Amino acid sequence: MPQLDFTTYLPQIFWLLVTFTVLYILMAKVALPRIGEVIEERRDRIAKDLDKAQRLRAETDEAIASYEKALKDARSEASQIAQSTRDKLGAKSDTKRKKVEAKLAKKLNDAEAQITAMTDAAMAEVGTISNDTTANLITALLGEDLDAKKISKAVNAQLAS
């Protein structure tokens, strides 16, 4: 059994110590720090990226909130403006309408008064014309002049009937 050949122990052990020492130094000083660095770097990078994503999301939420608030404000402002405009316009048209109505009412009154006056005048004139016509007719028919007072009395009686 070659494992029990003691003359081979020394060379085996010697080269084991040499190669393992070399391996240990290479691993401890060169290989492992490099791998560790890369893994660390990746961990940092992922943590940073996650942080950034979180921050961006918070910012987005904030932006959405402020946008919605602005939208709400704008809406309420718009409805307010619309309401006030409607109110203003309503008031304006009211006063205008009232003014026009008042004007029309006055015109109507004036017109009525004028008509009344004209009717009165016309009626008054009707009396004179009737008197004159009657006097002329009587003159033409009877050939004599009758007392104007009598004629007017008779005409008035006729008109009143």
- Rounded to whole angstroms, the Cα distance separating 22 from 29 reads 11
Phi/psi of residue 145, nearest 5 degrees: -90, 130
Assess contact for 31 and 22: CB atoms under 8 A.
no
If one asks whether residue 136 binds other proteins (CB under 8 A), the answer comes out as: no
If one asks whether residue 139 binds other proteins (CB under 8 A), the answer comes out as: no
DSSP 62-80: HHHHHHHHHHHHHHHHHHH
By C-beta, is 1 or 157 nearer to other proteins? Answer: 1
The distance of closest approach from Cβ of residue 47 to other proteins in the complex, given in angstroms and rounded to an integer, is 13
The residue written with tokens 């010697």 in the block is 14
Other C-beta atoms lying within 10 Å of the C-beta of residue 131 = 18
Q: Is 88 helix (H, G, I), strand (E, B) or coil?
A: helix
If one asks whether residue 36 binds other proteins (CB under 8 A), the answer comes out as: yes
* Token output for 122: 């016309």
By C-beta, is 19 or 116 nearer to other proteins? Answer: 19
If one asks whether residue 52 binds other proteins (CB under 8 A), the answer comes out as: no
If one asks whether residue 26 binds other proteins (CB under 8 A), the answer comes out as: yes
The distance of closest approach from Cβ of residue 56 to other proteins in the complex, given in angstroms and rounded to an integer, is 20
Judged by CB under 8 A, how many residues of this single chain contact other proteins? 35
By C-beta, is 22 or 65 nearer to other proteins? Answer: 22
* Token output for 83: 């309401």
- Rounded to whole angstroms, the Cα distance separating 119 from 67 reads 76
The distance of closest approach from Cβ of residue 20 to other proteins in the complex, given in angstroms and rounded to an integer, is 6
Residues forming the site for other proteins (CB under 8 A):
1-3, 5, 7-17, 19-20, 22-24, 26-28, 30-32, 34-39, 41-42, 45
